[in-house]
Amino acid sequence: MAYIIGIDTGGTFTDIVVLSEDDGKVTTDKAPSTPRDFSIGVIDAVENAARQLGMSGFQLLNNTAIFAIGTTVATNMLLTHTGTKTGHITTKGFEDTLLIGRVNQKIAGLSGIDVLDLARLDKARPVIPRNLIKGVTERIDYKGEVIVPLVYQETAQVVRDLVEKEHVEAIAVVLLWSFMNPEHEQEIKKIINQMYPQIYVTISSELVPKIKEYERAATTSINAYVGKGTSRYISSLGTRLKENGLKLPPMIMQNMGGFTTADEACRKPVLTCNSGPAGGVVGAQALANLLGYKNIITTDMGGTSFDVGLVVNGVSQFASQLILDKYVTLNPTIDVTSIGAGSGSIAWIEPDTGLLKVGPQSAAADPGPVCYEKGGTEPTVTDANIVLGRYPGHLLGGKIKLNKEKSFSAIKTKIADPLKMDVATAAISIIDIVDSHMADLIRKVTVAKGYDPGDFVIFSFGGAGAAHVGSYGYVGSKTAIIPNFASEFSAFGICSSDVIHINELSEPMRYPFGTERITAIYQDLENKALKDFQAEGFSRENILLTRLVDLRYIGQIQEMATRVPAGDLNHQDMERVIDEFEAAYELKYGKGSAYKIAGIEATTYRVHGVGKIIKPSPKKRRRGPANSSAAIKEKRDVYFRECDGFRLINVYDRGKLQPGNIVEGPAIIEAVDTTVVVHPGQTVKLDGYSNMIMQLSQG
Asked if residue 691 lies in contact with residue 489, where contact means CB atoms within 8 angstroms, the answer is: no
Closest listed residue to residue 222, CA positions, set 322, 351, 297, 333: 322
- At 506-533, the pLDDT tens digits run 999 999 999 999 999 999 999 999 999 9
3-state secondary structure of 694: strand
- Where does the pLDDT of residue 406 fall: very low under 50, low under 70, confident under 90, or very high at 90 and above? very high
| Cα torsion angle, 461, 465, 470, 471, sign | negative
Q: Cα separation of 284 and 461, whole Å? A: 9
Measure Cα distances from 359 to 186, 263, 342 in Å.
Answer: 45, 37, 8
**What pLDDT, on the 0 to 100 scale, is given for residue 234?**
92
Long-range contact set of residues 637-645: C-beta below 8 Å, sequence gap at least 24: 637/389, 638/388, 638/389, 638/390, 638/666, 638/668, 639/388, 639/389, 639/390, 639/424, 639/427, 639/428, 640/666, 640/679, 640/680, 641/428, 641/432, 642/666, 642/679, 642/680, 642/681, 643/680, 645/424
DSSP E strands: which ranges in 80-156?
A: 86-91, 133-136, 139-140, 146-148
Which residues does 367 contact at the CB level (< 8 Å), separation at least 6? Answer: 374, 375, 376, 377
**What pLDDT, on the 0 to 100 scale, is given for residue 536?**
85
- Where does the pLDDT of residue 355 fall: very low under 50, low under 70, confident under 90, or very high at 90 and above? very high
402-411, 583-592, 603-612: least confident range: 583-592
Quick one: average pLDDT of 336-352?
88
What are 294's strand-pairing partners?
none
CB atoms within 10 A of CB 418: 13
Closest listed residue to residue 328, CA positions, set 520, 109, 142: 109
* 55 has a pLDDT exceeding 70: yes
Q: Cα separation of 194 and 166, whole Å? A: 19
Quick one: average pLDDT of 178-189?
97
- Where does the pLDDT of residue 120 fall: very low under 50, low under 70, confident under 90, or very high at 90 and above? low
pLDDT over 90 percentage in the chain: 63
- The per-residue pLDDT of the chain, averaged, comes to 90
Whole-model pTM: value is: 0.82
Asked if residue 283 lies in contact with residue 493, where contact means CB atoms within 8 angstroms, the answer is: yes
Q: How far is CA 13 from the centre of its chain?
A: 15
157-161, 342-346, 382-386, 575-579: least confident range: 342-346
Q: How far is CA 11 from the centre of its chain?
A: 13
DSSP state of 123: P
* 80 has a pLDDT exceeding 80: no
- At 203-215, the pLDDT tens digits run 999 999 999 999 9
Q: Cα separation of 224 and 218, whole Å? A: 10
